[in-house]
């Protein structure tokens, strides 16, 4: 929730600081790139040296970035605050994904979906908070939400205590994990990881166009007020949260590959229609896109964890980092494209990105934990 306040107030700071779309994209790029680069490194480190209290430490960096963002008076300070939030995310996500897997009871897809839907539900609240609190009262009001981050730190210390008292769960045997996973040749694993990376690129480049620029698109094309546009962004992000909870448990039952296939390629007809729709259908299509597209990530993440067993932290960090990096690069590049062409052209170009989902056909079938248990 606190992280989502940053993109949610883009219309406010774009006007206040007289920023271009490219500069708005650079803020997202800074946050996402810091998180992207550091998450796999931190994940690999904690695979060998678990750090139960890194969850609270990561939230502390997010809190500091939020306060700095509320007090920033120049563009450079906004970038510094965004980098601080990115650092907090990089520390938080690898270990939190491991804790979710530890608490899963074998339903890894469901656990990842529950974990991620918390983040997505919080993200969906950002536009509402911006519309009704931050935009009317100003940038400084962002600092009040640091109290939420402080409460989260208290809760995460308790989670760290639980983690610390379960050393057997924290140090799962790689050999035990490998017994329940198919063994693929190294070249096949590498090829599969490249395909998963391409699917992440497709998903998060398209999401970047909506998360960072949907309000501008609605305000420009349909002459909506900032508050009305923020409410429709909230509706889209709420659909993303709902879609996230669907993908994991379905993947546990029918297989991750089928969920990935339906999620990314299945959204293509709706993205192609979006740039040519009126306001009513734009809202409806954004909900369908959010529901369908969001179901992919938990399936992709657990698929990758099963592909390379024993590296939960590294894989989680790699894919969270890749997702953040693609979203950041996408926001920056799409912002530049909007400056050079128009915000409408951005959505016409991005509408073809889900076609990359055709690569799912080349993914090997991996036996899911649920199906293994049933056999």
CB-CB neighbours of 340 under 10 Å: 10
Which has the higher per-residue pLDDT, 321 or 175? 321
Tell which residue, 101, 36, 125, 44, has the closest CA to residue 248: 101
Q: Who has greater pLDDT, 125 or 206?
A: 206
Please say if the pLDDT value at position 322 is more than 50. yes
Neighbours of 101 (CB within 10 A): 22
For the chain, what is the mean pLDDT? 83
**pLDDT score for 1:** 83
- Quickly state the pLDDT bin for 157 (edges 50, 70, 90): very high
Which of 342, 319, 368 is closest to 198 using CA atoms? Answer: 319
Structural domain boundaries, residue 253: 5-374
- Mean pLDDT is lowest, of 102-111, 164-173, 239-248, 342-351, for 164-173
More confident residue, 130 or 281: 281
- Residue partners of 340: CB distance under 8 A and separation at least 6: none
| pLDDT, greater one: 211 or 229 | 229
Contacts of 276 (CB under 8 A, 6+ apart): none
Distance CA(30)–CA(49), nearest Å, equals 28
The answer to whether the beta carbons of residues 123 and 1 sit under 8 Å apart is yes
- Over 80: is that where the pLDDT of 222 sits? yes
Q: Whole-prediction pTM value?
A: 0.69
For residue 208, pLDDT beyond 70: yes
**Three-class secondary structure assignment of 149-184:** HHHHHHHHHHHHHHHHCCHHHHCCCHHHHHHCCCCC
Residue 145 maps to which CATH number? Answer: 1.20.1250.20
Residue 142 CA: distances (Å) to CA of 126, 225, 306: 11, 21, 40
Q: What average pLDDT does this structure show over 149-153?
A: 91
CA dist list (Å): 192 to 67, 135, 361, 364: 41, 44, 11, 8
Residue 102 is predicted with a pLDDT of 83
Which DSSP letter does residue 132 get? I
Please compute the mean of the pLDDT values over residues 353-359 and round it to a whole number: 93
What pLDDT was estimated at residue 179?
42
pLDDT of 256 above 80: yes
Burial of 15 from C-beta contacts in 10 A (0-12 / 13-18 / 19+): exposed
The domain tally of the chain equals: 1
For residue 52, give the 3-state DSSP assignment.
Answer: coil
Q: Phi and psi at residue 122, in whole multiples of 5°? A: -65, -40
Pair 325, 36: CB distance under 8 Å: yes
Q: Is the pLDDT of residue 289 over 90?
A: yes
Q: Is the pLDDT of residue 367 over 60?
A: no
So what's the pLDDT on residue 171?
52
Q: Is the pLDDT of residue 31 over 80?
A: yes
* pLDDT tens digits, 163-175: 888 654 445 444 4
Average pLDDT over residues 76-92: 90
The mean-pLDDT minimum among 19-28, 47-56, 319-328 falls in 319-328
pLDDT for the residue 360: 92
- The answer to whether the CB of 327 falls within 8 A of the CB of 175 is no
| Per-residue pLDDT band at 117 (split at 50, 70, 90) | confident
Q: Does 237 have pLDDT greater than 50? A: yes
pLDDT-derived band at 112 (thresholds 50, 70, 90) equals confident
In angstroms, the CA 60 to CA 90 distance is: 12
CA-CA distance, 37 to 90, in Å (whole number)?
8
pLDDT at 310: 74
């Amino acid at each position: 929730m606190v992280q989502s306040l940053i993109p949610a107030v883009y219309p406010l700071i774009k006007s206040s600081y007289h920023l271009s779309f490219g500069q708005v994209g650079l803020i997202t790029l800074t946050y996402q790139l810091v998180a992207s680069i550091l998450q796999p490194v931190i994940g690999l480190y904690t695979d060998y040296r678990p750090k139960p209290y890194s969850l609270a430490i990561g939230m502390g960096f997010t809190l500091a970035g939020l306060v700095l963002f509320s007090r920033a008076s120049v563009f450079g300070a906004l970038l510094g605050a965004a980098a601080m939030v990115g650092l907090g995310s990089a520390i938080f996500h690898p270990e939190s994904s491991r804790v979710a897997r530890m608490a899963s009871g074998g339903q890894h897809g469901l656990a990842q979906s529950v974990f991620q839907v918390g983040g997505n539900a919080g993200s969906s609240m950002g536009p509402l908070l911006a519309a009704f609190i931050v935009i009317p009262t100003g940038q400084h009001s962002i600092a009040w939400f640091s109290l939420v981050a402080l409460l989260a730190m208290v809760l995460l210390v308790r989670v760290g205590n639980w983690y610390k008292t379960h050393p057997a769960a924290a140090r799962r045997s790689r050999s035990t994990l490998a017994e329940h996973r198919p063994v693929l040749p190294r070249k096949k694993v590498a090829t599969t990881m490249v395909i998963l990376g391409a699917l992440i690129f497709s998903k998060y480049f398209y999401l970047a166009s909506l998360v960072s620029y949907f309000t501008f698109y609605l305000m420009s094309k349909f002459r909506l007020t900032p508050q009305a546009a923020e409410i429709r962004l909230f509706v889209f992000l709420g659909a993303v949260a709902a879609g996230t909870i669907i993908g994991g448990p379905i993947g546990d039952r029918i297989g991750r590959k089928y969920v990935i296939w339906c999620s990314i390629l299945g959204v293509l007809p709706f993205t192609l229609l979006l740039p040519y729709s009126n306001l009513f259908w734009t809202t409806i299509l954004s909900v369908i896109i959010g529901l369908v597209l969001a179901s992919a990530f938990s399936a992709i993440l657990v698929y990758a964890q099963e592909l390379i067993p024993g590296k939960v932290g590294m894989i989680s960090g790699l894919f969270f980092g890749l997702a953040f990096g693609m979203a950041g690069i996408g926001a920056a590049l799409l912002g530049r494209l909007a400056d050079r062409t128009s915000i409408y052209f951005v959505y016409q170009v991005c509408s073809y990105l889900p076609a990359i989902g055709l690569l799912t056909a080349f993914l090997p079938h991996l036996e899911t934990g649920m199906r293994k248990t049933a056999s």
